[in-house]
Amino acid sequence: MAASKSKQSLPHFVLFPLMAQGHLIPMADLAMLLSQNGVKITFITTPQNASRIHSLLSQSPFIQILQLPFPSTQPDIPQGCENFDSLPSLHLVPKFLTATSPLCRETEHLFLQLSPKPCCIVSDMALPWTIQLADKFNVPRLVFYSLSALYLLSMANLRATDFGQTIMAAADSELIIIPNLPEPIQVTKSQLIFTLDPVFLEWGNQMAKADRASYGFIVNSFDGLEPKYLEELKKSIGSDKVWCIGPVSLCNKDTTDKAKRGNKAAIDEQRCIEWLDRREPESVVYAALGSLCNVVAAQIIELGLALEASNRPFIWTIRQTKSTEKQVENWLAESGFEQRIKDRGLVVRGWAPQVLILSHPAVGGFVTHCGWNSTIEGISAGVPMVAWPLFADQIFNQKLIVGVLKIGVSVGVEKCSRWGVEEEIGVQVKMEAIRDAVQKVMSGEGQEMRRRVRELAVTAKTAMEEGGSSHLNLKLLIEDIIHQADSQQLQS
C-alpha cells in the first residue's frame, strides 16, 4: 500500500520511443534516469519492442510498460515488423514511420486510464503525431533528441536557409559548407542525399512543426562535449528550455545492467568478460557497424580481413541480415577465418553488449558507424574511434569525432549509403584502408587522440554524478514540469 501511495504522489511522465534500436535504447535509459529521480514512468511501445527493454526497465517499481499493437495499415510493411531492424529493406523506413501515426488514436483511449494524470509527454523527435496528444490532454510535450547538437543545428540551418536547391544543383563530389555553424563543416552532396529524400523531407517538416509547438527539448549530450553547437542550437530553437542530460548510457553502472541493455545478446556476458580479461589493457579493437548496418557482404568481408591484418586482438560484431548472412557465413566457413584468428579474435553474430565491451579496460579502439549512441558511448568509455559513417547524422558525427574533437580517424568513406540500393555502391573501403586506420588509432600515433577522449570521458562521468551539469539539468527539467503541472491544477 505504501508503494502504491508513493507512486500516486509522484510526477508522471509518459514516454514514446521510436521503434528503432538507436532510439529505443536511449529512451529506456532516460526512463531509468527519471525513475531514479522520483518520477513515475509509463513507457508506451509495441510488444516486440517492449520485450527488448523489459529486463532493464522491470528493475524499477516506478516504471510501467504499456503495449499497443503495431498498426497494420501499410500493405508494404510485412506482419511482425515492429522495428527498423526487422524490415526486409531499409527503403521501407519512410512507410514504417507513416505507419506509426494510427498509434495516436490508440493512445488516446489509453491516456484516459492513466493514473495519476500525466504531467507531460516525452516523445522521440521522429513521432510528430504525439503533439496531437499533448494538445488534446493539455500537457507539455518534450522532444527527446538522441542525436548530436552538431547534426541538429546543421539540419535546422539547412531548413532555415532553404539550402536544398543549392545542394541538388551541386555535383555529387562538390564540397558544400553547412551555413551558420560556429566552425565550418564541409560535406558533399552524395553525403547529404539521404537527408534530401522527398519522403524524409516531408516527415522532417512534420517533425519541425511539432517541435516548434513543443514545450522543451531533452538532448542526449553533455555541456562539455559540443558547447558551441549546443549554444547555437538553443538560439536556433528560440528557447532556453533545452536540457542536456547525457550520456544516458552511464545510468547503467554494473555489469548486469550493461549486459541487459538493448536486445538479447548473442554472446554470454561472462564469456565476453573472461575473453577480455585475458587481454592486455587497451590492446583490443572492437568493431561494430550498428543495428542498421546495410553494407554488402563483400564490404563486411573486407572489414574482417582488415581486423585480421591489424595483428591486434579484436571483437567483431556482425549484424545478420537476409541479404548478407548466407554470403558472409559461407565465407567464414570456406576461408578458415575463424580458425586463423581463434587465438586473438572473437566473432559475435548478432547483438553484442556494446557498453559492457567498451567499458572494459582491455578495449583500446572502436571501429564504429558513428551512430550517436555509439559515438557518445565510445566517448564515455574513453576509447578513440575509427569513423565509418553509413548515412544521415553519422556523416556529421564523423566530422565531430575527427575534425572537431580530434578523437578518431576517418576510414575514408566518401558516399552515403542509400537504403534499398546498397548493391549499387558495393565496396567503398578496401581492407588496406581499414587496417591503416585501425593502426593509427592503436599505435603511438593515436596517443594524443587517446588523451583527448579520456579527458572527455572524465567530463562525461562528472556531468552525470551528483552536482554535475547533466544531473542538475535533469533535476531542473523535473522541477520545471512539476511547476507546470501545479500551475495547471491551480487554474482548473
Model confidence pLDDT, tens digit, residues 391-403: 889 999 999 999 9
315/286 Cα distance (integer angstroms): 5
Q: 287-291, 408-412, 434-438: which range is least confident on average? A: 287-291
Percent of the chain residues topping a pLDDT of 70: 92
pLDDT in tens, 107-145: 998 998 999 999 999 999 999 999 999 999 999 999 999
Band of the pLDDT at 194, cuts 50, 70, 90?
A: low
429/408 Cα distance (integer angstroms): 17
Predicted pLDDT of residue 79: 86
274, 249 contact by CB (below 8 A): no
Q: Which of 359, 383, 388 is nearest to 450 (CA)?
A: 383
Predicted pLDDT of residue 5: 42
46, 69 contact by CB (below 8 A): yes
Q: Does residue 180 carry a pLDDT above 60? A: yes
Task: Report residue 287: phi and psi, to 5°.
Answer: -120, 125
Determine the average pLDDT of the residues in 371-381. Answer: 97
Predicted pLDDT of residue 183: 87
Residue 93 burial (CB count, 10 A): 20
Band of the pLDDT at 439, cuts 50, 70, 90?
A: very high
Q: Please indicate whether residue 88 or residue 198 has the higher confidence score (pLDDT).
A: 88
Average pLDDT, the chain: 89
Determine the average pLDDT of the residues in 33-37. Answer: 96
Identify which of 69-83, 94-108, 301-315, 416-430 has the greatest average pLDDT: 301-315
Percent of the chain residues topping a pLDDT of 90: 64
Q: Please indicate whether residue 221 or residue 93 has the higher confidence score (pLDDT).
A: 221
170, 153 contact by CB (below 8 A): no
Predicted pLDDT of residue 2: 36
Predicted pLDDT of residue 263: 67
447/246 Cα distance (integer angstroms): 26
Predicted pLDDT of residue 418: 67
pLDDT in tens, 294-311: 788 899 999 999 999 999
Q: 220-224, 289-293, 363-367, 480-484: which range is least confident on average? A: 289-293
Task: Give the chain's domains with CATH numbers.
Answer: 2-163+197-251+464-491 (3.40.50.2000), 258-460 (3.40.50.2000)
Q: Does residue 164 carry a pLDDT above 70? A: no
413-417 long-range Cβ contacts below 8 angstroms, 24+ apart: 413/388, 413/389, 414/173, 414/188, 414/190, 414/191, 415/172, 415/188, 415/190, 415/191, 416/190, 416/191, 416/192, 416/193, 416/194, 416/389, 416/390, 416/391, 416/392, 417/194, 417/294, 417/295, 417/390, 417/391
pLDDT in tens, 309-355: 999 999 999 987 777 778 899 999 999 999 999 999 999 988 899 99
Residue 131 burial (CB count, 10 A): 22
Determine the average pLDDT of the residues in 142-163. Answer: 88
Q: Which of 192, 172, 428, 189 is nearest to 295 (CA)?
A: 428
Catalytic residues: 23, 124
